[in-house]
Each structure stands twice: as C-alpha cells, then as structure tokens.
Structure 1
C-alpha cells in the first residue's frame, strides 16, 4: 500500500511539473489544467505541446468550437508557464499565469489585466471563487490566495505536503488534497474557510472511500465527488454513504476532475491519458 501511494504521489508531481466530443482528445499534447465556466457552457484548458509551447484554449461545450486564447514559447519562464493552471473568474473572463504575473483575459474585449505579481514559486494549480473575487493557487507544497481587485497574497498552507488539487465550493471554502511524504505518503484532504482556519477533514471520508486523494464540492454542501483507490464516488456526509461513479482501470487512475456548476456532469482526466478529457453524466 505504501508503494502504491508513493507511486501516485510521484505521478501527480510529474504531471504538474510537465506540464460534444467524448472523449475530447488533443493528439501529441498534454493538457495541464482545465476548468468549467460558471454557466457550464465553456471549458478553459491549458495545453503543453511538444513543439515547446503552451497554449490556453476555450472550448464551447455546446458547439464543440475550440478557440486559442494565449500562446507562449517555453524558451523563457518555461517551468512557470508549463506548470501554471487556468480558470474562469466569470463567464467571460479567465485567469492564468503569464510569465511571473497572474493575469486575467476578457473574452469579450480581448484585453489582459495584471492582477498581481506572483512569488518566485512555480504555480501548479489555479482556482477562482464563484464570485470571481478571490483566486487560490499553489506551488508544489504551499497554498496561496489573493483578492482579484488588489494584490494581497497570503499563505494558507506552507510546506505540509505536495498539493494535488484545489476546489472552491459555492460559499468560498477551499478544498484541497496534499500528499504528505513524512507520513508514509498518505493523502490528506484539507478545508480552508477563507478566514485563516484550516482543517484536516480526511477523517470524514476515510471510512467511506479507501485512500481518498481528489475531491470536488457539489451544490449540496454535504455531498462531494471523491476519487480513491477503488474508483470515484459521490459521497453524502449526512449518512456516510456513497455511490460509485467510476471504477479505476488498473493503475490508470484519475489525475484531475472537475464538476460542472450544476453538479450534473463530471469532467476528468486519467494518469495515462493526459491528452484526453472525458465526460460523465451524473
């Protein structure tokens, strides 16, 4: 079991450092990060190509149309740009790392806006609150957050373990999973309430899902989508019950997942198929 957790932890770290069609496939490229717009109609994703470029795309989930938004050569700031994530601030504004700045891009007027200067750490995950007023982002072992209207970066977690993923629920609580090498590579699920209170909530899921390592909140505050050793489950904490949604294909486990805002569609990527985003209707 320890070897399995170690392998998963290394695979997640490797993935972050690389960095209506179903499945949505990009040949010969790696999709580093993806998120769904608040109205559920668009997907934004960042793609690392083997021609040494990274590109941010918008996919219209109703028409299937894909539009490139931003393309950058990886000759400069390659580690930063290849690894940083991307998300929606609103239905027509996205946020992502551009060189060493966190920037927004308005899809309507095609204008960039510098939000704040990032610390020197390489940025892996980016997730915005539903109201677009705050952005959470991480290096490999540190969680940061900042309001989007002014530069005021704070650390909510420092060097507790490799941060695997971040999700923000409708109330602004941040849920994220970490891999703690110091504790036999055990994954932990943490919740940060935005008021400097951080809580390890792994115990809430341990008896329901074996070895949970990814989590997505749902419109129901007591229900979560959780990926674990044996697959992906919809978990109801009110009665400690779960419904299995996906069975793992051997070692080809989920690498990333995002739930649509209405909670009806799960978008996910597996470790061995990082050029695909698969959809599952719930």
Structure 2
C-alpha cells in the first residue's frame, strides 16, 4: 500500500495542471505573452484564447503599410503536451509538418514571399523567415520560431513548447530593420533553465544574424539603380550675320549718279546732263537733214 501511494504521488507530481478554457476575448496589452521592441511597432490590441493545455494570443501591431494582411504576432504557450485536437486540448504541431511557404503567402497574398536560406537565431534559439518587397514600396516579413519544451529528470514536461509567428509589413523600411524585430522580441514567460546554455549554434542567448563579409545579406537584393543619363549639351545659338551691301568705288573721274528723286545737298564731281527729249518737235519747225558726204569719184 505504501508503494502504491508513493507511485500515485509521483504520478501527481509529473502531471501538469490543466487550465480553465476560455473563449476568445480582448485582454490588456500588459498581459501580452510577448512584447515588441521598445521602439515599436506598438501594440494595438491583444486577443487571447485559453485551452486546457495552452494559451494562445494574437497581438495586433500598428503599421503604416499599404499591403493587404494582418500585422500581428501569434504566440502559443503549451502548459503540457499537445492534444490530438479532439477535445479542448490544443494540438502541438511541429513546423516540420507545416508548409511554411504557403503560410507566408497566405499572410501576405500577392506579395511574392521568398524564404530565407540563411541560418539565424535570436536569444531564444533558431528561427526562420521569408521576405517580400511588393511594388507598393512596403517590405514584409513572415517569421516563425519554436522553442522546444524542457523536461524534468523524471521525463515529465517542465515547460511546454512555445510557438511564435510574426507577420508584419512596413513602408519605406529595410529588410535588416524589419528582421531586427525578431531579435528584440521579449517573452513574458519563464523560458530559460537556471543554468545558461553555452553560446553555440542552436543555443539560447547567442544571436546569429545573416551577416557576411560584405555586411547584412538580404533575401531579396534591392533593385539596381537606373543608370544616370548624360546631361544634354546645348549648343550656343548662332545668330546669322546681317548681309551688308557691297560698296562699289567708282574709278577716278567717273561721273556721280545722284540717288532717285534727286539730292538737295551739294555734291562733288561732274553732273551728268539729262538726255535730250524724245518728244515730237513743235509744228512749223523745219528739220534739215544733212546729206551724206561724197565719196569722191
């Protein structure tokens, strides 16, 4: 009987107390399970759902983007193991069983999401992300992270898994600044064991960013700048020369012909007399025509 009672006590210690389920309700931003960076984006509202084995929150964020979609952080904290979905217990689905590319495209439809091939991790461990740069000038991110559960020496769940998803678009921002939000998120949940993990790949409190020798490596490189067109060279306008009349210098002793209409001023040189009149001579006057000279026979 004593052994049976001890076994029952161990079973009770290894079990996790269930939560009273609650339907979706709006809660205070101060009760958010995860907080965005101090510099924003700010929290607009928090919608919380409580299952018997998990807490789920959608934390809606302010944005200036023009893309169609919800700007939010979705976080699920499992108290124990995931259920099978047949009752009030929420199912814990690993990311290996989720098509994250389809999830990213559904979050930002028509934006053309590209999944990052780089290994990255924040203070809570590795995470993945996809980036989009639609034509409207926005930069969009869809990021996902799963913090694996911790177990007690007995094998019981000490802390359940934590699932995080970030979907956010912002106008006139860089990919690096948008990704930095994943490094600045802070959980309002006890996550770490008493002893810190060493700073190695996959460890906590050891951020890894997509930075190479040339600096931050973007998933979608920026479009190359259009080549500058050479400035048009304007030629100076050429004003045509005004034609000048050529002056003909008469030879010495030549008579000077006055301009039409006569000139009242004094002129130098010899005046040219008018030609004799060709009008009909007056009647009664005889005109004598001289005979030709004789040839002398």
Normalised TM-score (structure 2): 0.24
Normalised TM-score (structure 1): 0.24
Higher relative contact order (CA 8 A, sep 6+): 2
Report which of the two has the higher share of strand: 1
Task: Name the larger-Rg structure.
Answer: 2
